[in-house]
């Protein structure tokens, strides 16, 4: 086990054997809401602290070459990918909070909406990290985001769970809850 420091906090990372060519398994993370000035080198510097990276791709407009503000970071082990998700999600890179989630390769998984919650009436100071903390006790969250414009909260957000049961449990428990003087 190795202790590394990320954003001033100690993080335990267990060294593990990379996937063998026969295994051919890569653990992929989607990294969104990036500042337009973030480069591949910036992402590499942030994520390689966790463990060996299989590949990294910052998506760019095919005509202009400008960043599309999202990337994919692929790890050789689930442990390193999970650690990156846990410790880097909602952390700032070049002044912008990153949104990290497991890459969902199958469009049907992303678009069914069965386990998605729309959360309204959020206090303007409420962050994506706080939203994730509030809902994480109800199940595994695939994606969590407070909508914003020009760095200011729009007062609503989205939480996507991995199961309908988790989403419904969270909804039933938190619907109508007062949060910083506002009823969700």
Q: What is the DSSP string of the chain?
A: -EEEEETTEEEEE---PPPPTTT---EEEEEES--TT--HHHHHHHHTTTS-EEEEEEEE-TTT--EEEEEEEEESSHHHHHHHHHHHTT-EETTEE-EEEE----HHHHH--TTEEEEES--TT--HHHHHHHHGGGS-EEEEEEEEETTEEEEEEEEEESSHHHHHHHHHHHTT-EETTEE-
Confidence label for 150 from pLDDT (cuts 50, 70 and 90): confident
Count Cβ atoms below 10 Å from residue 21 Cβ, excluding itself: 6
Q: What is the pLDDT of residue 9?
A: 58
Q: Within this chain, do residues 114 and 165 fall inside the same structural domain, yes or no?
A: yes
Q: Is the pLDDT of residue 13 over 60?
A: no
Count of structural domains, the chain? 2
85 and 52: one domain? yes
Determine the structural domain holding residue 161 and report its residue range: 107-176
In this prediction, residues 42-71 reach a mean pLDDT of 94
Domain boundary among 44, 71, 103: 103
pLDDT score, position 55: 94
Same domain assignment for residues 16 and 69: yes
For the chain, give the mean pLDDT. Answer: 84
Rounded mean pLDDT of 158-174? 91
Please tell me whether residues 46 and 124 are part of one structural domain: no
126/72 same-domain check: no
Task: Tell me what pLDDT residue 18 has.
Answer: 43
Domain CATH number, residue 136: 3.30.70.330
Last residue of a domain, one of 51, 81, 103: 103
Mean pLDDT of 148-164: 88
| Position 1 in a domain | no
Q: How many residues does the chain have?
A: 184
Please list the residues that pair with 149 across neighbouring strands.
152
pLDDT at 4: 56
Instruction: Indicate the range of 37-41, 70-74, 156-160, 179-183 predicted with least confidence.
Output: 179-183
């Amino acid at each position: 086990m190795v202790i590394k420091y990320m954003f001033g906090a100690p993080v335990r990372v267990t060294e593990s054997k990379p996937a063998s060519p026969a295994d051919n398994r890569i653990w992929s993370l989607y990294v969104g809401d990036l500042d337009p000035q973030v480069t591949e080198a910036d992402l590499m510097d942030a994520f390689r602290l966790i463990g060996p990276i299989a590949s990294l791709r910052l998506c760019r407009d095919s005509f202009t070459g400008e960043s599309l503000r999202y990337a994919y970071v692929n790890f050789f082990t689930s442990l390193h990918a999970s650690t990156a998700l846990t410790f880097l999600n909602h952390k700032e890179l070049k002044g912008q909070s990153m949104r990290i989630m497991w890459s969902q390769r199958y469009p049907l998984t992303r678009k069914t909406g069965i386990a998605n919650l729309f959360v309204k009436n959020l206090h303007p100071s409420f962050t994506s990290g706080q939203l994730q903390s509030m809902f994480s006790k109800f199940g595994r969250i695939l994606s969590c985001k407070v909508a914003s414009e020009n760095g200011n909260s729009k007062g609503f957000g989205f939480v996507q769970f991995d199961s309908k049961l988790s989403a419904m449990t969270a909804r039933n428990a938190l619907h109508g809850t007062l949060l910083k003087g506002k009823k969700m």
